[in-house]
Amino acid sequence: MTPEMIVSAGQASTAAGGFGWLSLIVLAPFVAAVIIGLLPERFENAIRNVALAGATVSFGGSVFVALGYDRTRGGLQFVEDFPIVESLGIRWSLAADGWSVVLLLLTGVIIYAGVWASWTLESRAKEFFVLLLVLVAGVFGVFVAQDLFLFFLLYEIAVLPMYLLIGIWGSSNKVAEAGPFALVFRVLDVGGKEYAAMKLTLMLLAGSALILAAMLGMYWEAGNTFNLTELAETEFSSTLQFLAFPALWIGFGTLAGLFPFHTWSPDGHAAAPTAVSMLHAGVLMKLGAFGVIRIGMMLLPEGAQYWAFWVGTVAVINVLYGALSAMAQTDLKYIIAYSSVSHMGIVLLGAATLTTNGWNGAIYQMVAHGVMTGLFFALVGLVYGRAHSRYIPGMGGFVKPMPFVAAAFTLAALSSLGLPGTAGFVAEWLVFLGAYESAHWWWTFPALLGAFITAVYVLAGVRSIFYGEGPPDTFHDLEDAVDSERIALWILGACIVILGVVPGVLMIFIDPTTALYLPTALR
């Protein structure tokens, strides 16, 4: 298909306003999930292949949308809009802007890699893939939903399967606690996968409750519409803005690992199986940040400006706090989980700057961190699966038996600390520039310090796991990544480098949209 044809296809669907590419992207995983649900358990290969097909269709669709998106025109394209519940103004309304395009691509890459990474899953693969695909359908939907209700609905669809995914396929790592907290730890079974799943779900649902409240407030005040464009044009009263923005910020922020509502993240990510951690830290946490910007800041500009100081300051705390917490961990997954908290702080900081560079950086960081943390969790799962341990001080010298994993891990670590030439640098750099341009320039310095502390702990981690004299005798089945896993690692690794070297591939989508949206948030 020639580029011209693709562009015209995009415009055609815009004109028709019917069912189109975006619905395909959103529904393909869902359809795949249904098909898998109908397949008998024993058809393991068919199940995997259907899952892969679903992911591929969505990924391919995302690429198509990216190619077909008319950047010179900008704005919302591939519009699809028809009513679901007419009386309440709820519509199946999808459209892509430049941000959606890059986030769709990210989600496509991660789910594609995620399916490969869980190729060797053995227990109850059928249910696992069903839930995974439903989750992904929700994620895809949120990024393109133009109807607030649909947005929220898909958001919940994306969040809820997590409970089962962690509760069933997760891993427990209980720590016997002594002292004054022993009772609490015993009563709640801290460290168990059920505990983690429950905590994650409850905290996120509490956040959702806040979102719902704010959402309904806006719905009523705007005159019974859920349409995002119409809502963005509505001048909400100061009281509503003042109250609803923090509700959205904390509500969505909880999913983005906002301090002090982040504690579901380490436990949840540590307990979750590989592909789920990849998706959750890689994509789902971005839904939170995306919500803060797309819903909170753009619909409630006055509230956003009023609260910007706190959003940014808490984000800076996130960066430093997450980094320092990560440094003190001895559990491999906890380190990565806390580093996600730290890196999501960068996203929220970029958002809070309310500057072009900051917002560009925030969106870029969503993608960069998504890919990077996806790679990290894929590797961590791989190491854990072979070492049967996550206790870092007990490891060492793993590079000998698993050089490929070591190389990929080093790459992820370097991106994590913001090395130029990797995706992490571009994003962090833009956010730092934005932060210094913003009303509160001092945000830059703690954020920079956080980046340095990241360098300290990731490299210390790399050293203790991979370097040093050969692996201790206690590890028997250490071996390098197998082919299906290598596919995932290659895809994600290549993304990290390409996005780091040629940021333009995404910036051409992100920047015009930011230019379009930022004035909305500054009005």
Partner 1 sequence: MTTAATLGLVAVLGPLVVALLLAVNGPVRRTGVGAGALSVLAAIANLVAALMLANSWWGEHELVDSTEWVWLIANGETIATVGVTIDGISASMLAVVAVVALCVQVFSWSYLSDEPKADFGRYYMWQSLFLFSMNALVLAPNLLQLFMAWELVGVCSYLLIGYWYTKPSAAKAAVKAFWMTKLADMGLMIGLIIQYRVTGGFGFHEADAVALGASVGVVTFCYFIAVMGKSAQFPLHIWLPDAMEGPTPVSALLHAATMVAAGVYLMVRGWPLFDLAEDTRLFMALIGGTTAIFAASVAIVQTDIKKVLAYSTSSQLGYMVAALGAGDMIAGYYHLTTHAFFKALLFLAAGSVIHAVHSNELSNMGGLAKKMPLTAGTFIIGTLALTGTPGFAGFFSKDLVLEALLHGAERNPVLWIPLACCLIAAGLTSYYMFKVVFLAFFGEPSEAAGHAHEGGIALSAPLVLLAVLSIGAGIPVMGALTSQWGHEAHFHVSPIGLAGTSAMLLGLGAAVQLHYRGGSLPGVAALAPVGNIARSEAVDKAWRVAYKQGLRTLAAGVSWFDRYVIDGLVNLSGVALLLGAGRLRAVQTGKGGDYVYAVLLGVIVLAAWTAVVSA
Binding site for partner 1 (CB under 8 A): 181, 183-185, 187-188, 190, 199, 202-203, 259-260, 262-264, 321, 324-325, 327-329, 356-357, 360, 397, 399-400, 403, 414, 417, 419-421, 425-426, 429-430, 432-433, 436-437, 441, 444-445, 448-449, 451-453, 455-457, 459-460, 462-463, 466-470, 503-504, 507-508, 511-512, 514-515
Closest distance between partner 1 and the C-beta of residue 41, in Å?
Answer: 35
**Distance in angstroms (rounded) separating the CA atoms of residues 132 and 147:** 24
Q: Which two tokens stand for residue 30?
A: 């869902």
Which of 82/452 has CB closer to partner 1?
Answer: 452
Which of 241/513 has CB closer to partner 1?
Answer: 513
Which of 146/329 has CB closer to partner 1?
Answer: 329
Instruction: Name which of 167, 142, 124 is nearest 37 in CA terms.
Output: 124
Q: Does residue 215 contact residue 247 with C-beta atoms inside 8 Å?
A: no
Q: Which two tokens stand for residue 141?
A: 């939907």
Q: Which two tokens stand for residue 338?
A: 């806390």
Which of 63/516 has CB closer to partner 1?
Answer: 516
Residue indicated by tokens 């795949």 = 32
Q: Which two tokens stand for residue 246?
A: 């923090």
Question: In degrees rounded to 5, what are phi and psi of residue 224?
Answer: 55, 50
Q: Which residues of 21-60 are buried (b: 16+ CB within 10 A; e: fewer)?
A: bbbbbbbbbbbbbebbeeeeeeeeeebbebbbbbbbbbbe
C-alpha distances (whole Å) from 226 to each of 106, 169, 221 are 26, 37, 11
Which of 81/437 has CB closer to partner 1?
Answer: 437
Closest distance between partner 1 and the C-beta of residue 31, in Å?
Answer: 36
Q: How many CB atoms lie within 10 A of CB 239?
A: 11
Instruction: Name which of 133, 56, 136 is nearest 487 in CA terms.
Output: 56
What length is written for the chain? 523
* Omega cis (within 30) before 260: yes
DSSP string across 59-77: HHHHHHHHHH--TTT-S-E
Of all helices (H) and strands (E), which one includes residue 511? helix 504-522
Which of 88/505 has CB closer to partner 1?
Answer: 505
Q: Does residue 424 contact residue 342 with C-beta atoms inside 8 Å?
A: no
Which of 12/188 has CB closer to partner 1?
Answer: 188
C-alpha distances (whole Å) from 334 to each of 69, 77, 126, 132 are 39, 40, 28, 22
Closest distance between partner 1 and the C-beta of residue 485, in Å?
Answer: 15
Which of 139/417 has CB closer to partner 1?
Answer: 417
**Distance in angstroms (rounded) separating the CA atoms of residues 263 and 265:** 5
Closest distance between partner 1 and the C-beta of residue 161, in Å?
Answer: 22
CA quadruple 48, 53, 58, 60: dihedral sign:
positive
Q: How many CB atoms lie within 10 A of CB 479?
A: 10
Closest distance between partner 1 and the C-beta of residue 263, in Å?
Answer: 4
Helical residues (DSSP H) of 418-503, grouped into ranges: 423-437, 444-466, 483-501
Angle, alpha carbons 191-344-261 (nearest 5°): 50
**Distance in angstroms (rounded) separating the CA atoms of residues 242 and 302:** 8
Which of 125/382 has CB closer to partner 1?
Answer: 382
Which of 276/451 has CB closer to partner 1?
Answer: 451
Which of 132/399 has CB closer to partner 1?
Answer: 399
Judged by DSSP in three states, 78 sits in: strand
Q: Does residue 191 contact residue 173 with C-beta atoms inside 8 Å?
A: yes
CA quadruple 96, 102, 106, 112: dihedral sign:
positive
Q: Does residue 80 contact residue 22 with C-beta atoms inside 8 Å?
A: yes
Q: How many CB atoms lie within 10 A of CB 505?
A: 13
